[in-house]
Structure 1
Amino acid sequence: MPLDPTFAEIRDFRVETGFKPLYTMTIDEARRADAKMAPGRWKWHEHPEDVFDLSFDGQAGERSIRIYRPQSAEPLPVLFYFYGGGFVAGSLRTSDSICRALAAMTPCIVASVDYRLAPEHPFPAALDDCYAAVKWVAEHGSEFGADSRRLAVAGDSSGGNLAASTALMSRDDDGPRISAQVLVYPPLRNPPPGGDAPTRSMRKNIDPMFFNARLNAWYWNYYLAESADGDSPYASPLAADDHGGLPPAMIMSAEYCPLLDENKAYGAELTRAGVPVEFHRYDGLPHGFLQVAALHDRARDAFSLIAGFLRKRWAEQPDG
């Protein structure tokens, strides 16, 4: 279907104002531009009143984690949220509105992880931080009202990659039990060298006003210190030999997202391995639609689906 009118207006505005794709910038320029595009605090839902930062010990020293906690007399399950930004940009502010919405709507504690960024800290630094946060909360969550038996991981874009990879790592490491994974238009496989677009959705979605195959390759180039690192299933979850035993997944993607085909492929791999999967394709929308929920009813509906999925998975999880 045609590009949704809201995003068509966004595209027209970018063209008129001389928008520069991030892949034409230096890393510092791209980070500043990415920060400017981060959404303001939305007003279409209630916010959790209790928001605070904690520190935890990662493999490379102390890192921060932001806790969003709705009021509750009982311990609440925990959703770890990993923000997007192509592994090279983003911050806790990037996903602030997303985390507030999910904490209030589910309800649950949301733990947003301030992971290290490439190229200064290439793979697997970000993943190490994310997994360290999961282990720390599993051990210390009761100190701030968390039910550490009920954990889930989620993220959008590169954060979705980190969520999928964290689930893989926790399974392989016999780490904390993760009840669910929510992957929103995640990059799941290092693209081939030379800039070749390996899928139809990559070849189709080349508009420089939105996330496209060229920007995807630019991000991966900075994320991986060596191209061979992309063969690791912890960098490219789609390349894993075994997807069995992973948590039930909700995968969201979009018609105008170059990652659509690999998102569908990952859902198929999980299904073949016996993992329950809910897949949602948003026709007419591009990569990044979750960030504009204040402007778009279908993006808001995505939050309702995520919240319902998490409630269901946690309700079905046996105690112990």
Structure 2
Amino acid sequence: MKRNHPIDQDLSDLLGRISEKMVELKHPPLEKLTPEQSRFFYKEARTFFKPFESEGIQTHNVYVGEGNIPVRIYQPEGTEELPVFLFMHGGGWVFGDLDSADSLCTYFAKNAECLVISAGYRLAPEHPFPAALQDVMVVAQWALQNVRHWNGKPDQMAIGGESSGANLAAAAVLWMKELGSCPFHLQFLITPVLRHQFETDSYQSGYAFNLTKEKMEWFWNHYVTDARQGSHPFASPLNAKSHKDVPPLLLATAEYDPLRDEGFQYAEKLKKEGVHVKHLHYRQLVHSFPNMIGQVKSADSAMMELAGTLKTMLRERFLFLIENENYYQKER
């Protein structure tokens, strides 16, 4: 059953404007929406988000691997060697690209004072699981070998992303671990997709802000061919038998997000296996809040905290903030 949930007025106004535009454009019912249509409406919706000021950040576009995977590098001005953040965009594995992540990557490069590498990857359903993950693995290996060219430090690297991009980052960490070792020192997951299932309380709560249970089912149906494939740990990182010795986790979750509870479950599971966890939970926010910089005050505050935390972890070589002798904070 759908429920009403209190969100800030500026957030409600922004979502209302986007909804009105979708009605104007005659957005079809979800069950009739094709991947091509979804990409069109996604780009239209993104015109409501303000681009972040890029002054002081140089960008470089390159192609990586035999498949010519697009990569964009965000380099703060100066000659100082910088920690590195490898970032994967969101979009349910079906849409999104380097341009859709441009503002967010610029924001982290500027406010976390790090070299950001934004990885493009093949999209579903044209390229279903594990194509996107394979591309991420190629870019990760390339980044480790080449970041010095842009004053990046290969021994101070984080991997992460937003939503489905965070899913790919968490899966890449597991794959690297399976291959013998993970060279990244931190996984930074923002409102991640972590399991192919829809039974958590947050999925059942009827949240309808940007992301819904029905939309996630639509995304998953395009990404994986069947439930068995969806249960594989590289598709559902929460299903991995062990997370022991994976990099420390910086996790961001939002209260009114269907993905909220699997984020909490992931944090708890890693904590129990001895992995350091820093979990920042935002009570009044919704899925995709990082894209609302400059328009939603609570999103601005959350992003400043996330960028500051990332900066601190990177600068301190990923030693976690200790508060009251408790490295794990859960604010629910």
**TM-score using structure 1 length:** 0.90
Q: Distance in 2 between matches of 1:282 and 1:105?
A: 19
- Shift of residue 150 of structure 1? 1.0
Q: Tell me by how many angstroms 1:284 deviates.
A: 2.2
> Residue 17 of structure 2 corresponds to which residue in structure 1?
13
CA distances 1:217-275 after superposition (whole Å, capped 9, x unpaired):
11001000232111211110010100111111111111110111111000101111111
Quick one: distance in 2 between partners of 1:79 and 1:48? 17
Structure 2 CA distance, aligned partners of 1:79 and 1:298?
A: 24
**What's the CA shift string for 1:128-186, capped at 9, x where partnerless?**
11111111011122222211111111211111111111222222223551111111111
CA distance in 1, matches of 2:234, 2:276: 21
Paired residues, number: 309
Counterpart of 2:33?
Answer: 25
1:47 and 1:232, CA in 2 relative to 1: closer, same or farther beyond 3 A?
farther
Distance 1:155 1:23 in 2: 27
Report if aligned partners of 1:152, 1:179 keep a CA contact under 8 Å in 2.
yes
51, 55, 60: which one pairs with 1:42?
51
Aligned to 2:179: 173
Residue 205 of structure 1 contacts residue 256 of structure 1 at CA under 8 Å; is this kept in 2?
A: no
Does 2:60 match 1:52? yes
**Separation in 1 of the partners of 2:271 and 2:308?**
20
Q: How many Å separate the matches in 1 of 2:20 and 2:43? A: 21
Instruction: Please show how residues 240-279 of structure 1 align to structure 2 within 5 Å.
Output: 240-279=240-279
TM alignment of 1:1-320, pairs within 5 A:
2-17=6-21, 18=23, 20=27, 24-38=32-46, 42-43=51-52, 47-57=55-65, 61-191=67-197, 197-207=198-208, 210-317=210-317
User: SS at 2:252's partner residue?
Assistant: strand
Q: What fraction of aligned residue pairs are identical, expressed as a percent?
A: 31
Using the size of structure 2 for normalisation, the TM-score is: 0.87
- Cα distance in 1 between the residues matched to 2:16 and 2:110: 34
- Contact 1:56–1:65 (CA<8 Å) still a contact in 2? yes
1:21-75 deviations in whole A, cap 9, x for unaligned?
65541110001111222255534x55343101111115xx221110000013122
Unaligned runs of 5+ in 1: 192-196
SS in 2 for 1:182: strand
- Cα distance in 2 for partners of 1:121, 1:281 equals 33
Render the CA deviation track for 1:262-308: whole Å, top value 9, x for unaligned: 11000101111111111122112211111101112222223222223
Distance in 2 separating the partners of 1:241 and 1:220: 22
The separation in 1 between residues aligned to 2:180 and 2:277, in whole angstroms, is 22
> How far apart, CA to CA, are the structure 2 residues paired with 1:46 and 1:92?
15
Contact map agreement 2:50 2:295 (CA 8 A) in 1: no
Q: Which structure 2 residue ranges, 5 or more long, are not aligned?
A: 319-332
* In 1, Cα distance between equivalents of 2:201 and 2:298: 25
Q: Any conservation in 2 of the 1:47–1:100 contact (CA below 8 Å)?
A: no
Question: Could you tell me whether the CA contact under 8 Å between 2:182 and 2:246 is conserved in 1?
Answer: no
Task: Find the aligned partners of 1:32 and 1:101 in 2 and give their Cα distance.
Answer: 25
**Contact 2:163/2:190 (CA < 8 Å) preserved in 1?**
yes
Contact 1:23–1:215, Cα closer than 8 Å, also in 2: no
Separation in 1, partners of 2:188, 2:55: 21
Could you say what secondary structure the match of 2:173 adopts?
Answer: helix
CA distance in 2 between counterparts of 1:235 and 1:170 reads 14
Secondary structure in 1 aligned to 2:80? coil
